[in-house]
Amino acid sequence: MYSTRKVIELLVEKGLIESSVLETGGLLNPAQSDKFIDYVVEEAMLQEFARVVRFRNEDAYIDKIGVHRRAAVPAEEARDPGVRRGVNTSQVPLHPVELMVPYEISDTFFEHNIEGDAVEDRIARMFSAQFANDIEELNLDGDTLGPAKLESDIYEDGSSTRYIKDSLLAKYNGWPRKADSANVVDLEGNSITLNVFSQMLNAMPTKYKRDPRQLRFLAPVSLEQLFRERIASRSTGAGDVAMNAQNRLTPFGVPLIPVPLMQMNPLVVEHLSFTAASTANLRYSNIQPGSVVITPTTLNKVPTAAFVETTDYTVDESAGTITQVTSQLGGTVTVKVTYRASPQIILCNPNNMIAAIGRSIRIEKDRDIFGRVSQWAITMKVDCQFENLEAVVKGTNIADAL
């Protein structure tokens, strides 16, 4: 029997989805979609550091309005100044991509698990929570070049020695990748101190930092912990608070937000070109030792062996360079390079970070009578964007230790 309540109860509240959903092929009505989105936002902690935009169309546009130059002119009595100022208007485009969570439960599992019928609800909760995490991961790690991942990191029965392209992270560029076009500060391997935050604030255009309380530093949880440890080591009241309380740290009056899925050593992917035994520069220096994986740029779903370090290429992690060994990569060639960079921090107003979630959400269930399994699919569209890149600062190349 189709139990829509069990499928959706994990997301919202009891009885949100009724049997009428079946008549529309599982398409949620606006109220149900909003409840679903509320769950995703809460689970992914998006309300902490981003503005959530809900849309219905295939593409959406957010209107921007602002004044970008001097507005005042000298005034003279009884004389028209002869100029008029206007506002600048533009649009931020959103091009959502569709994601799906497909899963199934066998009849045998239903019959023998210790939770009985309640296991359907429990599993649905787990998959839906993971869906929220996957959306946050895409928003934080997305890169349209698509990083190389071990097949076993994506599929349980995948190869532990061969690589495939992470097609989910290739859907669009996440916030950190987009921030490469903003105000970037190379912190040159310095550890997390107040100077790091000071340099980032200095890189923010003055007009966007009039009220520091409106800004946020977004950092990996472990990096926030390192800064908390540094502050806690001071024999001051602030040190005691940092050590014993859960209050937000506020360097120079700006709250520091630990983002759970923001990786301490972010995954970076680049396509680099070599000629003969040449050396190519990576986007970052001080990369994580042993993290470099080089594969063909054509990497896709077919598991592929990576090129071999020392045999095909050498790496200088400190300088962030890769050198081809006697044309082993193929002479004149372009390759995909995936690696782990040093920790990063983003500084901006949280209203500047847009997490777009479509309201055309489907939750569908089917039955494979021959395979004796029940199948589910949750489908929705998402995108992320900055409204104004000029008002964003990205701090890179921070040490991952005190």
Q: Is the pLDDT of residue 3 over 60?
A: no
Q: Is the pLDDT of residue 256 over 90?
A: yes
Q: Contact, 25 vs 360, CB < 8 A? A: no
The predicted structure's pLDDT at residue 400: 93
pLDDT digits (tens, 9 = 90+) for 219-228: 999 999 999 9
- Domains of the chain: residue spans and CATH: 4-59+94-148+351-390 (3.30.2400), 267-340 (no CATH)
Other beta carbons within 10 angstroms of residue 266's beta carbon come to 21
Query: Rounded mean pLDDT of the chain?
Result: 84
Q: Cα–Cα distance between 126 and 129 in angstroms, integer?
A: 5
The predicted structure's pLDDT at residue 117: 62
Distance of CA 386 to the CA centre of its chain: 12
* Pairing state between β 373-386 and 97-106: antiparallel
The predicted structure's pLDDT at residue 202: 97
Q: Is the pLDDT of residue 5 over 70?
A: no
328/267: higher pLDDT:
267
152-158 own/partner pairs: CB under 8 Å, 24+ apart:
158/303
* Gap between the terminal Cα atoms of the chain: 58
The predicted structure's pLDDT at residue 239: 57
Q: Contact, 81 vs 75, CB < 8 A? A: yes
Put simply, whether the predicted model's pTM sits higher than 0.95 gets the answer no
Among 236-250, 269-283, 327-341, which stretch is predicted with the lowest mean pLDDT? 236-250
Dihedrals phi, psi of 194, to nearest 5 degrees: -60, -25
Highest-scoring range by mean pLDDT, 230-234, 337-341, 363-367, 385-389: 337-341
Q: Is the pLDDT of residue 33 over 60?
A: yes
Q: Cα–Cα distance between 398 and 402 in angstroms, integer?
A: 10
The predicted structure's pLDDT at residue 127: 73
84/25: higher pLDDT:
84
Mean pLDDT, to the nearest integer, of 314-325? 94
The predicted structure's pLDDT at residue 145: 98
Residue 259 burial (C-beta neighbours within 10 Å; 0-12, 13-18, 19+): buried
The predicted structure's pLDDT at residue 242: 59
99/239: higher pLDDT:
99
210/336: higher pLDDT:
336
